[in-house]
Amino acid sequence: MGLFWSKTSPPTDPMMETDWCEINWGQNNEMKRSLRKLQLKNPAVDHLRILVVGPVGGGKSSFIQSMKGIFLDRMINTACTVATGGKSFTKTYTTNQFEDERGRNLPFVISDVMGLENGRDSGVQSRDIIRALKGHIKEGYTFNPVMQCPVNDNSSPTLNDLVHCLVFVIPIDNSTANWCMENDLIRRMQNIRQVTCDLGIPHVVILTKVDLACLHVKEDIKLVYKSQTIYRKAQACSHALGVPMSCIFPVKNYHEEKELNPDMDAVLLFTLTQILDYANDFVKNIKEPEGDSNDSFFSM
């Protein structure tokens, strides 16, 4: 385990012969339309809830902001939401809603938490993430790295408060990844994944900063599923976290661009479509608890 990125090849590796995943380029409007009209598979659920977790500076907020921009069909200002230093900019449990360019709400939300950090007394505590998964953390709760969220913060969560798909956001550029992927952080993510598995909540991994990991991809995002460098990092991540390759999605977030790029949008929209499909499959089988136990949501 440990610094599993450091053994990776230089960023100018040759391309693979075939893509390890096919993206339908040029279908952005169709993908956006399907997501807007997504039929939720459980009538008691108003929206699918996605939770993003991962190391501070990994690109969680940038992923959310990129999605907002894509659906609004314009760039949005991220100066107050995206981190520039090593500390987490996001301190509260924040749920992001999405609307399209005509102001219509989309049938999903993405919740953002404080980033994971190395060391016991910094970053979000794993137990708080587990509480968030079960819907026990209220909107606006301010995370405290040295104190867990009180047990009764939200003692009677509804189906809409539960997390329907967990997304680990992991940067794969060498400079951030080397300190992000310390044993301590990997272990914490493995623990969170184990609880997610126990609860039956689907989860995926998004690999960010692919442009910094591979020069070819920086020049042409369409090569993202052809780059050997990115494929190997995805495999390393799959082994470290125990998540199958089919659930690992490399993306490039908007970070320095001044206008939208249809190929970047295609990769991001493809990824979101998969995540929401998993979330929608999950809600199909969940019911309101009958007794007092909040965990009975998960006894299917």
Ligand X SMILES: Nc1nc2c(ncn2[C@@H]2O[C@H](COP(=O)(O)OP(=O)(O)O)[C@@H](O)[C@H]2O)c(=O)[nH]1
Nearer to Mg ion, 8 or 271 (CB): 271
Residue 58 makes contact with ligand X by CB under 6 A: yes
Nearer to Mg ion, 60 or 209 (CB): 60
At residue 192, φ and ψ (nearest 5 deg) are -60, -40
**x/- site string to ligand X, residues 78 to 117, per CB under 6 A?**
----xxx---xxx------------------------x--
Residue 255 makes contact with ligand X by CB under 6 A: yes
- Measured CA to CA, the distance from residue 66 to residue 77 in angstroms comes to 10
- Residue from 38, 40, 53, 61 touching Mg ion (CB under 5 A): that is 61
- Residue from 90, 126, 176, 229 touching Mg ion (CB under 5 A): that is 90
Q: Which amino acid is at 140?
A: G
- Residue from 28, 51, 59, 231 touching ligand X (CB under 6 A): that is 59
Residue 271 makes contact with ligand X by CB under 6 A: no
Residue 57 makes contact with ligand X by CB under 6 A: yes
- Residue from 28, 126, 253, 271 touching ligand X (CB under 6 A): that is 253
Nearer to ligand X, 171 or 202 (CB): 171
- If contact means CB under 5 to 8 A according to the sort of partner, which of ligand X, Mg ion, none does residue 84 touch? ligand X
- Which residues between 196 and 225 bind ligand X (CB under 6 A)? 208-209, 211-212
Q: Report which residue's Cβ sits closest to Mg ion.
A: 61
Residue 208 makes contact with Mg ion by CB under 5 A: no
Note the residue count of the chain: 300
Q: Which residues 6+ apart lie within 8 Å of 128 measured at CB?
A: 113, 137, 143, 148, 149
Question: What is the four-CA torsion angle of 151, 152, 157, 161, rounded to 10 degrees?
Answer: -60
Cα 154–Cα 167–Cα 116 angle in degrees, nearest 5: 75
Given the structure tokens 């994971």, which residue do they identify?
116
Nearer to ligand X, 233 or 252 (CB): 252
- Which residues between 169 and 198 bind ligand X (CB under 6 A)? 169
- If contact means CB under 5 to 8 A according to the sort of partner, which of ligand X, Mg ion, none does residue 252 touch? ligand X
Residues near ligand X (CB under 6 A) are 54, 56-62, 82-84, 88-90, 115, 169, 208-209, 211-212, 252-253, 255
Residues near Mg ion (CB under 5 A) are 60-61, 89-90
